[in-house]
Amino acid sequence: MKFSSDNLRSREEFLTPAFVDRLRQHDSAFDPFTLTDDHPKTFRVGECQLVELGKRVSFDVLLFWKTDTESIQRSIKVDALREDGGWLIETVGIVKPD
């Protein structure tokens, strides 16, 4: 699961070219998909919002960590763009509180 150029290549078909270019510049210890260096145990897709009809959506992904002593949940926001008949991830970011 650790971010690497190999795992980026295996995910490129699901990402916009601009996002792939930004990820190639990535030099942080944080995984750019989960925005953490401690990978979650599981995830679930949450609320989805239409941003631009037929072209752009934004949705929450809930990340979960569970140990014997605690359970943690955090949300990230994923923006997807419709290109060439398919949906591609354009950005991943922190969910801003309302």
Span 13-71, pLDDT tens digits: 999 999 999 888 877 777 888 888 888 999 999 999 999 898 999 999 999 999 889 99
pLDDT at position 21: 92
Mean pLDDT estimate for the chain = 88
CATH number of the CATH domain containing 46? 3.10.450.50
pLDDT at position 1: 62
Name the amino acid, one letter, at 35: L
Give this prediction's pTM.
Answer: 0.82
Contact call for residues 30 and 36 (beta carbons, < 8 A): yes
Q: Structural domain of residue 12, as residue ranges?
A: 5-94
Residue among 8, 36, 17, 4 at smallest CA distance from 88: 17
Distance CA 93, CA 81 (A): 15
Number of domains in the chain: 1
The beta strands (E) that lie in 37-98 are given as 42-52, 56-66, 71-83, 86-94
